[in-house]
Amino acid sequence: MRFPVSTPPAVPAGTLTTGPQPTLPAEGGLVLRPWADGDAPAVLAAYQDPEIRRWHTRRPASPEQVLQWFAHLRRSWQEETGASWAVTRDGAVVGRMVLGGFNLDDGEAGCAYWVVPAARGAGVASGALRAVSAWALGDGRLHRLWLDHSTGNVASCRVAVKAGFRLEGTKRSAAVHDDGRHDMHLHARVRGDA
């Protein structure tokens, strides 16, 4: 049993789902849009990349699993528990951007992302993260966004910093990857940060 919260929720229930999940423009001609079933082959191909596999342990193994995941993402939006976007350029999927684990009482969500090899090093992840952050901390009415990444994932750390996520500390031995436990850097951005 959960006791009622003594303070009003930062984001009242129903606020996010007054309309469809938004499509967001981002710098560099990027467009973040909800996933479509036709994106399944691009997602399966992305998860064949060794770097994406290195840092992301939850991976689809078949087109059916991708479609089930897309259905789960649509439910997550309707239930106000999360949102996930295909990051696209000229219609092609070049990455993924996620807001998950919504805590509407405190106005908080976690972020995650990946970028396909051909689009790396061009500011795709940081630009998409800035766009999602602007929406989430603005129209989405959230107050705090956080992300964590392995201390060994230097590229992800650069993305977080470029997108305005301050390093808050290190969570020791906090995540399991294919090669064992990793310490995780914790970054956050709050409404009002520059």
pTM above 0.85, yes or no: yes
Measuring CA to CA, how many Å separate 15 from each of 48, 54, 105, 111?
37, 36, 12, 20
32-83 tens-digit pLDDT = 999 999 999 999 999 999 999 999 998 999 999 999 999 999 999 999 999 9
In a domain, 160, yes or no: no
Rounded-to-integer distance, Cα 165 and Cα 162, Å: 7
Domain that holds residue 51: 16-144
Give the pLDDT score at 172.
Answer: 97
In a domain, 163, yes or no: no
Question: What's the CA angle centered on 100, arms 96 and 104, to 5 degrees?
Answer: 145
In a domain, 109, yes or no: yes
Give the pLDDT score at 17.
Answer: 87
In a domain, 30, yes or no: yes
In a domain, 151, yes or no: no
105-160 tens-digit pLDDT = 999 999 999 999 999 999 999 999 999 999 999 999 999 999 999 999 999 999 99
For residue 4, pLDDT beyond 90:
no
> Mean of the per-residue pLDDT values for the chain?
95
In a domain, 179, yes or no: no
Q: What is the DSSP string of 93-155?
A: EEEEEEEEEEETTTTEEEEEEEE-GGGTTTTHHHHHHHHHHHHHHTTT---EEEEEEETT-HH
CATH code of 36's domain:
3.40.630.30
Give the pLDDT score at 190.
Answer: 98
Give the pLDDT score at 1.
Answer: 78
For residue 2, pLDDT beyond 80:
no
In a domain, 190, yes or no: no
Name the strand (E) or helix (H) holding 43: helix 40-46
In a domain, 111, yes or no: yes
What domain count does the chain have? 1
